[in-house]
Amino acid sequence: MKRIVDFMKRNYKIILLITALSAVLWSFVPTTKNEDPEKDKVLLELLTLVLEKGHYSPIAMDDEFSKNVYAKYLTAIDPSKRFFLQSDMDEFSKYETSIDDMIKNKDLTFFDLTNARLLKRVHESRDIYKEILSKPLDFSTNEMINVEYEKQANAKTKSGISERWEKQLKLSILPSIIDKQKIETTKKEKDSTYVIKTFKEIEVEARENSLKSLNEYFDFIEKELDRNDWFSIFINSIVERFDPHTFYFSPDDKDKFDISMSGKFEGIGARLQKKNDAVEVSELISGGPAWRGKKLEAGDLILKVAQGDEEPLDIAGMRLDDVVKKIKGPKGTEVRLTVKKVDGTLEVISIIRDEVETEETFAKSSIIDKQGEKYGIIYLPKFYISFDNKDERDAFKDVAIEIEKLKKQNIKGLIIDLRGNGGGSLETVVNMTGLFIEQGPIVQVKSPNRRPEILSDKDSRVQWTGPLVVMVDNFSASASEIFAAAIQDYKRGVVIGSKHTYGKGTVQNVIDLNQFIRGSSYGDMGALKTTTQKFYRINGGSTQREGVLSDVVLPDRFAFLDMGERDEKEALPWDKIEQASYKPVFSGFEPIIAKSKARIDVNEQFKLITENAKWIFERKDINDYSLNIDVFKKEIDDSDAQLKKFKAISNFHNKLIFTSLPEEAVVLEKDELLKEKRQRWYDDMEKDVYIDEGVNILSDLKVYNDVKPIAQNKKKKLVRVD
């Protein structure tokens, strides 16, 4: 969940909102303890009022709103359509355009009906899958399955549900059988006396494992989930209609939200988000086990989770929080993830859990040596800050310190690497941008029905005046986009990377709902994260949906996919406001950009990456799979053969030399673990064609006659701008 850290906690508009709403909502306070349904009604009205008064762009709760909530909620609770019959849907359909009225009237009839029916169908499904898995499955027929469930009708009869279950179980078990067969073959190759298990034996094992996994999953649904859990799904089907970043946190979820960056935890180091009935990897934490393993990637869909040697658990439909619990675990233990890659292939990835240290989420730098010339790179994974303790690390201070260290090494140019940076503190990004320009506006922030507020760098001193390249990708979001946009608008440096950044141009506040109800006996009501503002570039354009378009587009695996905010149905629209008053630093970089594009066009590595991107695009809509084991194997073999060609991408070496700064080299001699982490980073950068082109651009900028140096070269003060 990408967001700009809530610098608006001190914003008087929010205080006014709280004051106004509290006066209305105190009338809901009960004098005695009520049953959960009564609490649900209060929560429903509370959220409605907060959204109507506090959301940046509240939408009308009308029939169209109802239809969308209806569809989103039913998809959320039965994404693969293996529970509800068409007769159930027919019964539910009379409420399709009435949910708006039911919300206003605190009427829970629709939720109560669907929840009771869901639990009934879930219970019935136990008998269905047990019956199917009690006898051998036939993988010799020419059956097909289409997994684009949202476009399929519900089954009309219970036999139709059984047929759907059987196909889904076959699809789930097929990869397991094939993997087991490969393991048997490997064992035979290592030991000629080994007796390979028969297909029949393997098929029995696969069915038994699937049965165990489903029993665990259904035990979890029936025994661990309560009304509050299901009601949270219904609530979020409502609030997420306002925009993708508005979300209700139940009391349990609220406690886990936004863990402080100063802490440590044990796990795999990946951030996850819901994607239909699967869980998507949204981000890898730099330095974490998943990041080090180099197999799990942002965009992968997690389908199953296995603990060590145990059989994998199908997590389809499972709550995100509970999937996270399955994946997290003690340091040194193994978790195996069955994932669907962006190219449609299935892969089992083994990860040894470890301590995820925040040191690897802080800014770090390296000297780059290219044929005797020195350049610098600073990698910043997040715009971090501590609002409560000014003495703690923040990105602005750390980047300023790294620049000073690099300057002492007489670097000729600097790369700021923001790839994968999902954002962070708005205050920090304003201060950090000021390290590269003289004083002036950095970003515009607009509240509804108010004139934009211009946030400026007020210190005329400049930390770095030399050639500058900013690297971004599809996952550079929020504060990263503010920085890249400001550097681009001031023509201070060249932005390179994916065609566009993520496109998140909104600001969220996390509102504790308990503050609205004085003396409530309902208990904890949770919290609402909601969009309260939009930010705009100083040229007046929004980054919302559109993102920041790179000056130099570098081909990547996702080049032909529409990723980011623009892919979100409920995302707020792009718009434009009046530009701020600012003066570009340079006249432009057209010759530099042209030279770079010419290099990219003839670069064999980029040609192969482009070919890989086209292959991924061609496969992205594959939803039909054969349930015939021979055909299924052939499809896997064909994909593997194609993938072998693209493995050459990872064999690239850019011939750049990466070394630590002298101050860090001293520390590394005493810290073997940190030394190992730095070496892995250098090894990765040596295979990075994007950094190679970034250095080429810096080299061109160094001799670009039209680029005049900034008059002042004064050190930027390390101060906060409140």
Instruction: Show Cβ contacts of residue 458 under 8 Å, excluding neighbours closer than 6 positions.
Output: 434, 439, 721
Residue 478 falls in the annotated catalytic set = yes
Contact 585, 466 (CB under 8 A): no
Residue 489 falls in the annotated catalytic set = yes
CA distance 337 to 329: 13
Alpha helices for 247-382 (secondary structure H)? 251-256, 289-293, 320-327
Q: Which one of 125, 366, 478, 660 is the catalytic residue?
A: 478
Contact 231, 298 (CB under 8 A): no
Contact 251, 526 (CB under 8 A): yes
With b for 16 or more beta-carbon neighbours within 10 A and e for fewer, the 484-499 pattern comes to bbbbbbbbbbbbbbbb
End-to-end C-alpha distance for the chain, whole angstroms: 25
Tokens 């550079």 correspond to 476
Q: Which one of 72, 504, 529, 716 is the catalytic residue?
A: 504
Tokens 């996919």 correspond to 561
Residues facing 472 on adjacent strands: 497
Q: Which one of 417, 473, 489, 551 is the catalytic residue?
A: 489
Pairing of strands 440-446, 494-497: unpaired
| Helix (H) / strand (E) containing 496 | strand 494-497
Instruction: Look at residues 415, 436, 414 and name the one whose alpha carbon lies nearest to residue 486.
Output: 436
Residue 178 sits at the vertex; the CA angle it makes with 175 and 179, to the nearest 5 degrees, is: 85
Contact 232, 250 (CB under 8 A): yes
Contact 574, 534 (CB under 8 A): no
Instruction: Show Cβ contacts of residue 66 under 8 Å, excluding neighbours closer than 6 positions.
Output: 95, 96, 97, 98, 99, 100, 101
| Helix (H) / strand (E) containing 456 | strand 453-457
Instruction: Look at residues 437, 443, 428, 447 and name the one whose alpha carbon lies nearest to residue 538.
Output: 443
Instruction: Describe the crossing of helices 12-25 and 36-54 by its angle, rounded to 10 degrees.
Output: 140
Give me the phi and psi of 512, to 5 degrees please: -75, 115
CA distance 144 to 166: 12
Q: Return the SS3 of 368.
A: strand
Known catalytic residues are 478, 489, 504
